[in-house]
Structure 1
Amino acid sequence: MRTLRRLVLPVLAICAALVSRSAASAAPVPEKPEVHLAAAGVGFPYLPFIIADSRGYFKKAGLDVEIGVFSGGAKALQAMMGGSADIVAGAYSNTITMAAKGQKLVSFVTLASCPGWVFGVTRASHGKVKTYADLKGMRIGVSSPGSSFHMGANYLLNKAGVKPGDVSIIGVGSSAGAIAAARSGQIDALMSNDPVATVLQGSGDLFPLAVMRDPAATRATLGGDYPEASVYTTRDFAAKYPKTVQAVTNAILEAERWMAQATPEQVAAAVPAQYALADKDVFVRAYANMQNCISRDGLMTDAAAHTVHDVLAAFDPEIGKASIDLKATYDNHFVENADKP
């Protein structure tokens, strides 16, 4: 027995060391454990970071994440550029628009690989509008002028020959305000996402012209994959705190893997009350409609980056004229280096 113990114990020690080393490489100790995350909102495309927080994945990765929710991507971006936030959960398109201004931002993990948008006609104008071209002279509701909703609507209209000056763009918000505007007849069409789209379709107040709730439908509508939401930061922050960025990535990916196998009811139960956009029944139905948009692997592709660029260029011609290295606006190596299940 002594001989056996002498032979076995060194082997066990080596195995323990290898496991420890593997765990250390998969779960790096963050250089900056306290991280301030600015969120563009708490809509469904942003659920992975909410789940990462509520299910303890950030803490498991050695992070204490303080989440600040802003009323739109522009304000979340402003918070990071002003130094009050380290990272942003927002539209990937912001990295491209800022690159056109000479600012170096980098997306390091994708949250949603399609936008989940529904562009439809309201009850008030349903009988008058059959195609995008019929929207000339009408009122289009978006979350806010200049938002990704506005850009998406503009792209679809532009493809049909409807120019920006041919319609009136009205900011209606992305929750209760959008529902009220659609039902009261203040707008003729609306670019929205869930749960607003699910609520309005269910009540007969929205009739879709385009639905982008899964990757295939998004490709058919926009001509390619359109990663709506990601977590991004400045290139300087990623270079200075690579282990912190890796830890954030690990936590987000663990949330995405959990969401991929969870039921809509389980996801709804995991969302804290302060982040719930609807009651549980509506949440479950709405999430079931768009859950295929949640990224499964956190990766960005060059083709997807080009689709976002094309949509932006249709909205802002200056983007099309600018010399932008799209490959510099995202970095997949944090996802590729993450711990695997």
Structure 2
Amino acid sequence: MRSRTALLTVAALGLSLLTACGGRDSASSNTLRIGYIAGSAASLPDMIAKERGIFEDAGLNVQFVNTDSGPGLVNLLLSESVDVTWAPTSNVLAATEKVQIVAGTVRSYGFELVRRKGFADSSTSLSYPDNLQALAEGRVGISATASYAQVMAEGMFNEAGVAPGNLDFLSVGVGPTSRGALKSGQVDLLMANPVTAAELQVAGDGDPVISTLDIPALKNLPEAAYVTKRGISEAQEEKVAKYLRAAEEAITWAQSESNIEDFDALLTQVYGLSPDDAEATAERYNPGEGNLIGEYGLSFDQGGFDELVAILLKGKLLTEKVSYDEATALIEPR
């Protein structure tokens, strides 16, 4: 269980080490600017590639540009503040006239809906979907409006028979600000990653209710994608291809059983959870087969893509259908 906890540690905590990754001006021939969110598991391959020197070996000077939400990642791309970024697929689909998916990433972890202690305590005696129906009047904390967290929250409640239009959302960011919002009563429910859910549980401030991985209609959706602006130059495409190869190499390295101890040591040397938080995280996280990095891959399931489009259309977060062929312009890692 230790290696699984170490993986989640990275997904949970600040990525201050990465802010030192910047270097030369972005006009430099080997510089590539990428987006990331502190606390997001989707940045894990980038972190591994940095720490293992994979980017350097590929001849890339990678600069990490921070933001606080999925919509923020797409905005970084549209403003040309980054050259390539991962971003929640839901946000990418809303901007497909200007951005293109160059590689997919399989889902990494499930969101957990966490209930604030003192709010609708009687719901704990109920099972799904009755428990969500009992919680539907609560204010739901999400990272940002129109974020993937909002999409998943609406999907959760919709599957339980609660119309998305009846939910009250509040943007609370991620990490400490989101935990503070739940603890203070600013929100009654919070869409959290497994680590935040564990931290709230250990502190006695919240109880995890259900995970998206527990709901068949939500468990296999394509959570994120690597994207660029449309019409990038051949030189930029070559750098993106090298970047994707580096991400693929990082994923492959982390998935190897022979590297588990080295991977564990690399991560725990830089980041740390309290023993109680680490134990609770390991208990809460149940990815199925493999560990957290085992959920990654540069693939894109068209079936899951179409399912997500249908959910977004139903929730009015997408105004018209987007086809897989329209959205993707895949680049072969090389």
Q: Is the contact made by 2:251 and 2:293 (CA closer than 8 Å) also made in structure 1?
A: no
- Which amino acid is the alignment partner of residue 84 of structure 2? I
Query: Unpaired runs of 5+ in structure 2?
Result: 1-27
Identity %: 20
**Alpha-carbon spacing, 1:180–1:109, altered in 2? closer, same or farther (3 Å):** same
Q: In structure 2, what is the Cα distance between the partners aligned to 1:195 and 1:91?
A: 19
Q: Is the contact made by 2:68 and 2:174 (CA closer than 8 Å) also made in structure 1?
A: no
**Which of 60, 85, 90 does residue 88 from structure 1 map onto?**
85
**Alpha-carbon spacing, 1:279–1:268, altered in 2? closer, same or farther (3 Å):** farther
Q: CA offset at residue 85 of structure 1?
A: 1.3
Q: CA offset at residue 207 of structure 1?
A: 2.9
Q: Which residue of 2 aligns with 1:128?
A: 122
Q: In structure 2, what is the Cα distance between the partners aligned to 1:245 and 1:42?
A: 24
Q: Which residue of 1 aligns with 2:60?
A: 63
Question: Structure 2 matches for 1:1-341, cutoff 5 A?
Answer: 32-99=29-96, 102-110=97-105, 112-129=106-123, 130=126, 131-212=131-212, 217=213, 220-222=216-218, 225-237=220-232, 241-261=236-256, 262-263=259-260, 266-267=263-264, 269-270=266-267, 276=271, 279=273, 281=275, 282=277, 286=281, 289=285, 291-292=291-292, 295-316=295-316, 319=318, 321-332=319-330, 334-335=332-333, 338=334
Q: In structure 1, what is the Cα distance between the partners aligned to 2:168 and 2:153?
A: 12
Q: In structure 2, what is the Cα distance between the partners aligned to 1:77 and 1:120?
A: 27
Task: Provide the alpha-carbon RMSD of the alignment.
Answer: 3.0
Q: In structure 1, what is the Cα distance between the partners aligned to 2:265 and 2:120?
A: 32
- Which amino acid is the alignment partner of residue 118 of structure 1? E
**Alpha-carbon spacing, 1:210–1:107, altered in 2? closer, same or farther (3 Å):** farther
Q: Is the contact made by 2:92 and 2:99 (CA closer than 8 Å) also made in structure 1?
A: yes
Q: In structure 2, what is the Cα distance between the partners aligned to 1:32 and 1:284?
A: 45
TM-score by length of 2: 0.76
**Alpha-carbon spacing, 1:71–1:333, altered in 2? closer, same or farther (3 Å):** closer
Q: Is the contact made by 1:50 and 1:271 (CA closer than 8 Å) also made in structure 2?
A: no
Q: In structure 2, what is the Cα distance between the partners aligned to 1:189 and 1:36?
A: 35
Specify the structure having the higher radius of gyration (Cα): 1
Q: Is the contact made by 1:121 and 1:190 (CA closer than 8 Å) also made in structure 2?
A: yes
Q: In structure 1, what is the Cα distance between the partners aligned to 2:54 and 2:323?
A: 33
Q: CA offset at residue 35 of structure 1?
A: 0.7
Q: Which moved more, 1:81-90 or 1:179-188?
A: 179-188
Q: In structure 1, what is the Cα distance between the partners aligned to 2:192 and 2:149?
A: 7
Deviations 1:264-304 (A, max 9, x none): 8834733885xx5x637546864782543654431111012
Q: In structure 2, what is the Cα distance between the partners aligned to 1:243 and 1:119?
A: 41
Query: Unpaired runs of 5+ in structure 1?
Result: 1-30
Aligned residue pair count? 293
Q: CA offset at residue 36 of structure 1?
A: 0.9
